Chain A
């Protein structure tokens, strides 16, 4: 078998051709299988482990100057939540809006916008990196999330901070939500922003309150925040993956 060089060559050529055709259909099959995306997800778990090992818990995202500001800060996803209760509050300048902080905390909080504005504030000019590939630079002012956590006093078993939002993402009314761990929650640049570029936070950018998590991608930075919940696990919330986009297949860790 395959003694003749010509046969051998034809065999190799055919093998190469079949190998590439096989690779294409194999990639497609892997993409559609239930295990494929999970196995491939190992790459992103490795990225998270290595990135966290290389950078410190409090390493700072780059901050920019006013000269770097994007002329108009792009809004992506929801511009105006299709939610009557939200729109009623917006019409009222969010006078009746109150942020709840609850879950695994010793002191649940209910805070109005003026109360949040009266707290310690931080202003930062940072770059917003969307998972799609684009970046925009904006100036954000808000209260560090660590300040709220200090008031609410999370219980020892609390591991994640979940942001519950006002914007419905589909016809079933599934609301946007996101989650981060306590390490990112205590990061000095993690703020609940109520101002963008020295103006009251506009609706397309998440009025009245959005979170900034500067070492992760844009989809982590939930807009239209209504409630902050501390949990031990996010497995029981919505799709169980820790966020609206995570439930659609995106990574929970969005540092790359």
Chain B
């Protein structure tokens, strides 16, 4: 996010520069594929036992904190029910009960969002663990590159000026007001913090909670998984972490669209990002 290439600084009509070098672009799109597959195959695995618990085991005498199931209503129709912390929600057709090809079937998440589509736990696990490795290796390469190239320090580490603009940045985001011109060459402070949180907190946490479900990894230091409440808590936190990633992607895509879809998209494909001059507008 630094090297100017075909830049003509000072030009009234603006200029283009190389915003994202190729290693960042490649890592970004590998992440897109890996996270999409991890989400879909993760929901396939979840569907094998569509309930979440808090504690060391699932059978502790306490009810699950989230459960999806189907049951027959008094009028004879099958309904999908999602129970969250003791409250029942009717989620027929989406959660608990899917209606496809005219027939109803009991399943947690619907087939259009799981990989494979049909109930197929063993293959879901293969997809999940293969792309978990893709994500981890891609993440390690990204971090190595970011540290070496200075991307982390230069583009992501908040500056003192950033911290001072913290309140203003919140207000700007709420008003959908986005920096233009030279100011758009750097990430704003909320953006930096969101990226740093995903890179250094959410993704490592999700991976760690995934490993917490592994009986072999639990033997590395017996009892470590109790630090988060136990294996079933780790499973719940893995799910919540994944939901946090979905939320991040949603906000990220929204911001990409409202701050100039084509300019942003181009910068992540060819690397080139256009800075508009004082009179020019990005068309």
Chain A residues within CB distance 8 Å of chain B? 5, 9, 12, 23, 27-28, 31, 37, 39-44, 46-47, 51-52, 54-55, 59-64, 68, 70-74, 127, 129-137, 214-217, 245, 248-251, 255-256
Contact = CB atoms under 8 A, between A and B. Distances in A.
Contacts of A68: 56-57, 60
Interface string B196-227: 00000000000000010111111110110110
B35 interface: no
9 contacts: A9-B262, A12-B262, A27-B127, A41-B130, A43-B130, A43-B133, A59-B222, A68-B60, A256-B217
A71 B216 contact: no
A133 B48 contact: yes
Contacts of A41: 126, 130
Contacts of B133: 43, 46-47
B195 interface: no
Contacts, number: 152
Given A27-B115, A133-B45, A136-B57, A43 B131 contact: yes
Nearest to A245: B122
Given A5-B283, A23-B33, A40-B127, A62 B223 contact: yes
A129 B215 contact: yes
Interface of B: 33, 36-37, 40, 45-46, 48-49, 51, 53, 56-61, 115-117, 120-123, 125-127, 129-133, 211, 213-220, 222-223, 225-226, 231-232, 235, 262, 265, 269, 283
Given A61-B218, A70-B60, A127-B57, A132 B121 contact: yes
B112 to A, nearest CB: 9
Closest 8 pairs between A and B when the two form their complex, measured CB to CB: A255-B216, A43-B130, A70-B59, A40-B126, A249-B122, A256-B214, A133-B49, A134-B58
Contacts of B232: 134-135
B59 A71 contact: yes
Contacts of B211: 256
B57 A55 contact: no
Nearest to A32: B116
Given A31-B116, A249-B123, A216 B130 contact: no
Nearest to A62: B222
Contacts of A51: 214, 216-217
Contact of A71 (B53, B61, B231): B61
Contacts of A12: 262, 265, 269
B215 A255 contact: yes
Contact of B59 (A55, A136, A216, A249): A136
Contacts of A215: 215-216, 218-219
Contact of B122 (A59, A61, A248, A256): A248
Contacts of A132: 48-49, 121
